[in-house]
C-alpha cells in the first residue's frame, strides 16, 4: 500500500515537477502527501562566525546572513507553490543535518520523492547510501505517465526486493519488462513464476554488451525504471560494475530504488 509520501525539496529549478508527481499519486492511489525542506546547519561549519571565541572576519558573517536570507526566500516561494497542490500545513520546515532528519522522517512514510539531478548531489548520495524506505527519483521533464515499467535486473536479491516493494505500492501497474545484461547464463525462473502468479505481464530481455549504453537506450521506451539499492559500496556491482552513479545520472525517466 502507498499510504504516505514525503517529497524532499532542495534547490530544484521547478518544484512544480515534484508536486505534480505527488498530486498524480494522490489522485491515483489516495495517498497522503507531505513536503520537507531542511535548513542544513552544516553551513555554519563551513563558515563559522567565531573560532575559539574569536570573531571571524566580518565577510564570513555577511555571507552567512546572505545564505540565510536566500533560504528564507526559498521557503517563502516553496510555501506559495506548495499550497496550490496541498494544504500548507503538510509542508514541514526543519533545521538540522539533512541526513539525520531524513532518517527520522522515513519512519512515518512509505516513499521518498526527490529530484533526479543531472549530477547526483552530496545529499542525494547520502540518501541513497542510508535509506531504508524506497526512493522515487524524478527527472526535470516528467510526463507523469506510468504504465510501462522497466526492471534493471541483475538477478540479485536486491532488485527482487525492489520489485516486491514496487508491486505492493503500485498495484495497478501490470506491464513489466526485465532487462538483464551479460547474465544470460544465470537462471531467473522463480522471479518469472512469482510475477505470473501475481498476475503481472513480464517480458524478459537478455543482452550482452556495455550495461550503461544498453539500459540508457532501452529505458527510452518506458515510463519508470526499477533498480536495486546502491548501499553496498554505492555501486551497481553486477549490472554496471563501477558505473552505478553514471547510470542514475544518464537515465531520463523516473527511477525507483527499493
How far apart (Å, rounded) are the C-alpha atoms in residues 193 and 197?
6
Residue 209 belongs to some domain of the structure = yes
| Whether pLDDT at 234 is above 80 | no
Instruction: Say if residue 102 is in the same domain as residue 25.
Output: yes
Where are the alpha helices (H) located in the chain, listed in sequence order? 15-29, 43-46, 58-82, 98-105, 122-130, 157-169, 189-197, 211-218, 244-250
Q: How many domains does the chain have?
A: 2
More confident residue, 184 or 48: 184
Which residue is associated with the grid cell 540518501?
Answer: 127
> Are 36 and 115 within one domain?
yes
Neighbours of 131 (CB within 10 A): 19
Tell whether the model's pLDDT for residue 166 goes beyond 60.
yes
Out of 119, 139, 167, pick the residue that ends a domain. 119
C-alpha span between 112 and 18 (Å, rounded): 11
Residue 72 domain-assigned (yes or no): yes
**Which of 82, 100, 119 corresponds to the end of one domain?**
119
Confidence of residue 106 (pLDDT cuts 50, 70, 90): very high
CA angle (7 as vertex; 224, 29 as ends), nearest 5:
60
Q: Note the pLDDT of residue 239.
A: 44
Q: Report the predicted TM-score, pTM, of the whole model to 2 decimal places.
A: 0.86
Same domain (yes/no): 115, 25 = yes
What pLDDT, on the 0 to 100 scale, is given for residue 60? 61
Domain housing 175: 148-257
pLDDT score of 43:
61
Residue 140 domain-assigned (yes or no): no
How many C-beta atoms lie closer than 10 Å to residue 58's C-beta?
A: 9
For residues 11 and 115, membership in a common domain is answered with yes
Confidence band, pLDDT 50/70/90 cuts, at residue 248: confident
The verdict on 18 and 93 lying in the same domain is: yes
Kindly state whether residues 102 and 206 are assigned to the same domain. no
- Identify whether 52 is part of a domain: yes
DSSP structure class, residue 198: T
pLDDT tens digits along 66-80: 777 878 888 999 999
**Residue 137 within a domain:** no
Domain of 77, CATH number, reads: 3.40.50.620
Residue 216 in grid coordinates? 540508457
27/107 same-domain check:
yes
Amino acid at each position: 500500500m502507498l499510504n504516505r509520501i514525503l517529497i524532499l525539496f532542495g534547490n530544484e529549478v521547478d518544484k512544480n515537477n515534484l508536486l505534480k508527481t505527488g498530486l498524480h499519486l494522490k489522485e491515483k492511489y489516495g495517498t497522503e502527501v507531505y513536503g520537507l525542506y531542511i535548513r542544513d546547519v552544516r553551513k555554519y561549519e563551513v563558515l563559522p562566525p567565531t573560532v575559539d571565541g574569536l570573531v571571524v572576519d566580518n565577510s564570513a558573517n555577511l555571507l552567512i546572513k546572505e545564505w540565510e536570507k536566500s533560504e528564507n526566500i526559498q521557503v517563502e516561494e516553496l510555501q506559495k507553490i506548495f499550497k496550490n497542490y496541498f494544504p500548507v500545513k503538510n509542508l514541514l520546515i526543519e533545521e538540522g543535518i539533512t541526513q539525520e532528519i531524513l532518517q527520522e522522517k522515513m519512519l512515518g512514510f512509505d516513499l521518498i520523492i526527490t529530484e533526479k539531478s543531472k549530477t547526483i548531489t552530496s545529499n542525494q548520495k547520502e540518501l541513497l547510501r542510508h535509506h531504508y524506505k524506497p526512493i522515487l527519483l524524478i527527472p526535470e521533464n516528467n510526463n507523469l505517465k506510468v504504465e510501462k515499467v522497466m526492471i534493471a535486473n541483475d538477478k540479485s536479491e536486491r532488485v527482487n526486493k525492489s520489485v516486491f516493494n514496487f508491486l505492493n505500492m503500485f498495484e495497478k501497474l501490470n506491464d513489466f519488462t526485465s532487462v538483464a545484461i551479460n547474465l544470460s547464463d544465470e537462471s531467473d525462473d522463480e522471479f518469472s513464476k512469482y510475477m505470473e502468479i501475481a498476475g503481472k505481464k513480464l517480458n524478459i530481455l537478455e543482452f550482452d554488451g556495455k550495461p550503461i549504453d544498453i539500459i540508457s537506450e532501452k529505458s527510452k521506451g518506458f515510463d519508470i525504471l526499477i533498480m536495486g539499492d546502491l548501499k553496498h559500496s554505492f555501486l551497481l556491482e553486477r549490472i554496471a560494475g563501477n558505473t552505478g552513479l553514471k547510470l542514475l545520472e544518464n537515465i531520463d525517466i523516473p527511477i525507483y530504488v527499493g
